[in-house]
Amino acid sequence: MRKNEKFIGKCENYTYQGLGVVKYEGQPVFVKDMLEGETGEIVITKVLKNYAFGRCLQLLKSSKERVEPRCLIYKQCGGCQLSHMSKQAQKAFKRQRVQDCITRIGKIELEVEDVLSMEDPYHYRNKGQVPVGMKDDQVICGFYRIHSNDIIDMNECLIQHPLINEMVQIIKAQLQKYQIGSYFRHLLIKVGFESKEMMVVLIVREEKIPHLEELVRVICQQEYVKSVIMNLNQRNDNVILGDKETLLYGKSTIQDTLMGLKFNISSKSFYQVNPIQTCVLYEKAVEFANLTGKETVLDLYCGIGTISMFMAKKAKHVIGIEIVEDAIKDAKKNALLNQIDNVEFVCSDAGTFASEIAKNNQHLDVICVDPPRKGCDQKTLESILKMSPQRIVYVSCDPATLARDLYFLSQNGYEVKKVQPVDMFPQTTHVECVNLIVRK
């Protein structure tokens, strides 16, 4: 294969990033925006040792699962990779992605359940993280171009809550009016789906911002704004939030309701970004836990205590563990707010705490884990084995690290009973899973 070489090829399947896989001279060529079964004229854009990348110059045969993306900047923005796929095709892609990981990495012969998806897969995000930049003396607010740090300006993101889109445009207009866009790095905006309460976090490069009072005054004219925070970030990396925060208006948290429970959410605390599908995910997690009211449950990586409190409604006692101190503070407040007294929260590394419980031979019936994308570390997994719970409910946002951890557990006395994908992030390649693992 040579760069700029053209050929006619048929898309056979997908990479985990959603790129179409087309074979040429026996080698795979990865092509963006091509669907399984489609035939097109391909030009090679980059050649590597065992594979290449290509671009489809024209489709000669289209798939019935192809749809016209509703987003105007879909091809430039790297946020949504699957908007050209129908809802059914997205479900099939995500299920197959999970199945491939479970089979190849997990070495587990188990049929993955059908994906639980949304009826209306748009405007579901309750959190927006929008980069701010300058171009030709104009303020731009949008998302990064794929594989770059260039910001694609946007007026509306179709997967964000409409109130977030509205607030981005309000702030953008003020930054342009006062010519202060260069002081800003990001806008972080959170909104409660039930409460409609909004938090605006202005992430800035310097502490003293000209016309800051005027900006905050305009933001607060929107009745749903309950909190405005300035976050100072002078780092030279891609971390969005800095350490120093100043409350400019209102309170330091907003409140939302999920499945009948109230939650206070701060700027740094983790809260699932798709409340509609979060209910689906958590209901399945509670179902897998099979609680009767007699069990002691350990919830590792508990965040602000969402799963912990849903488990507590049906368990005897729940212990939630989280390393982020602000999240634990919020979790404790949330338990008081909801008058739940059979749950306790501890600020600790998950592996360290699990190891201590294992040493003390403390009995646990169910362990729930909801780790970050990197999955559980070895110390946590080994501690889980020592505690020997009857059931493990594993919530995962990455099929590959999930499969790795399931392989370890399946080799050490546990059996994977169910793998249930939940589409928390429609239009993207990401997929969440809730899994039931039982002691053999």
**397 included as an active-site residue:** yes
Residue in 80, 101, 397, 433 annotated catalytic: 397
3-state SS track over the chain: CCCCCEEEEEEEEECCCCCEEEEECCEEEEECCCCCCCEEEEEEEEECCCCEEEEEEEEEECCCCECCCCCCCCCCECCCCCCCECHHHHHHHHHHHHHHHHHHCCCCCCCCCCCECCCCCCCCECEEEEEEEEECCEEEEEEEECCCCCEEECCCCCCECHHHHHHHHHHHHHHHHCCCHHHEEEEEEEECCCCCCEEEEEEECCCCCCCHHHHHHHHCCCCCEEEEEEEECCCCCCCCCCCEEEEEEECCCEEEEECCEEEEECCCCCCCCCHHHHHHHHHHHHHHHCCCCCCEEEEECCCCCHHHHHHHCCCCEEEEEECCHHHHHHHHHHHHHCCCCCEEEEECCHHHHHHHHHHCCCCCCEEEECCCCCCCCHHHHHHHHHHCCCEEEEEECCHHHHHHHHHHHHCCCEEEEEEEEECCCCCCCCCEEEEEEEEC
Q: Which phi-psi region, left, alpha or beta, contains residue 301 (left: φ > 0; alpha: ψ -120 to 50)? A: left
Residue pair 71/89 in contact by the 8 Å Cβ criterion: no
**Is beta strand 296-300 parallel, antiparallel or unpaired with respect to 317-322?**
parallel
Catalytic residues: 397
